[in-house]
């Protein structure tokens, strides 16, 4: 009886850890952000996402910054960090690893929205952004 209970407990834990791994997808993240924003997924806008990606903003040191500045104008291409390291493409069509790990996605939104917009991005903006990148070819 106890053995069986332990087995059930371990199996449950195993499933939980599998879920905690990289089991997200662009679609599941869009659904999550839409829900957070209180809108249906259909209200996410790829064109708003594209504008967010391309618009230049005044950076901390006065220089213009945008997502495209490092990720390049074409998100299916590899970008470059300020110190010259390669950034793998952002668009899932070119890099299927993208938007498969919610924690990683949140980490980079937190950092890069601060760098580019000087504030955090809203759930709606995050959803729009993924909506655009998911259809970039």
Which distant-in-sequence residues (6+ apart) come within 8 Å of 119 by Cβ?
113
**Applying CB under 8 A, which part among 27-35, 44-52, 89-97, 106-114 lies near other proteins?**
106-114
Strand partners, 86: 80
Please tell me whether residue 13 binds other proteins under the rule CB under 8 A.
Answer: yes
* Least Cβ distance, residue 10 to other proteins (angstroms): 6
Q: What contacts 1, CB < 8 A, 6 or more positions away?
A: none
Q: At what angle do helices 102-117 and 26-37 cross, to 10 degrees?
A: 60
Question: What x-and-dash track marks residues 48-87 binding other proteins by CB under 8 A?
Answer: -----------xxx-------------------xxxxx--
Position 95 contacts other proteins (CB under 8 A): no
Reduce the DSSP state of residue 106 to 3 states and report it. helix
**Which residues are at the interface with other proteins (CB under 8 A)?**
2, 5-6, 8-10, 12-13, 59-61, 81-85, 107, 110-112, 114-115
């Amino acid at each position: 009886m106890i053995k069986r209970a332990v087995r059930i407990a371990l199996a449950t834990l195993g499933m939980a850890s599998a879920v905690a791994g990289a089991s997200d997808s662009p679609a599941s993240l869009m659904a999550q952000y839409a829900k957070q924003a209180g809108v249906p997924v259909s209200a996410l806008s790829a064109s708003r996402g594209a504008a967010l990606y391309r618009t230049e903003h005044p950076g901390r040191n006065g220089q213009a910054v945008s997502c495209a500045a490092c990720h390049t104008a074409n998100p299916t291409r590899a970008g470059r960090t300020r110190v010259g390291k390669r950034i793998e493409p952002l668009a899932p069509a070119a890099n299927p690893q993208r938007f498969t790990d919610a924690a990683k996605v949140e980490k980079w939104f937190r950092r890069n929205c601060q760098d580019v917009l000087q504030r955090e991005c809203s759930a709606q903006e995050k959803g729009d952004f993924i909506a655009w990148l998911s259809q970039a070819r």
